[in-house]
Copies of this chain bind each other. A is one copy, B any other.
Amino acid sequence: MRFGTLEAGGTKMVLSVGNEQNELLEQASMPTEAPEKTIPAMIDWFRDKNIVSLGIGTFGPVDLNQASPSYGWITKTPKPGWSDKPLLPPMRDALGVPALIDTDVNAAALAEWQLGAAKGLNSCMYVTVGTGVGAGLVIEGKLVHGLVHPELGHMLLRQEPGDPAPDGFCPYHKGCLEGLAAGPAIEKRWGTKAQYLSPDHEAWKLEAAYLAQMCMNAVCAFSPEKIILGGGVMQQKHLFPLIRRKTLELLNGYIQAKAIMERIDSYIVEPGLGTKSGATGALLLAQQAYAESVK
Contact = CB atoms under 8 A, between A and B. Distances in A.
Contact of A147 (B123, B143, B144, B216): B123
A215 to B, nearest CB: 11
Contacts of A218: 221
A259 B146 CA distance: 12
Contacts of A151: 219-220, 223, 254-255
Given A147-B257, A222-B144, A223-B149, A155 B217 contact: yes
Q: In which size bucket is the chain A interface?
A: 35 or more
B154 A156 contact: no
A152 interface: yes
Interface string A117-144: 0000011000000000001010111111
A152 B217 CA distance: 8
B144 A158 contact: no
Interface of A: 61, 75-76, 122-123, 135, 137, 139-159, 172-173, 175-176, 213, 216-225, 250, 252-257, 259-260
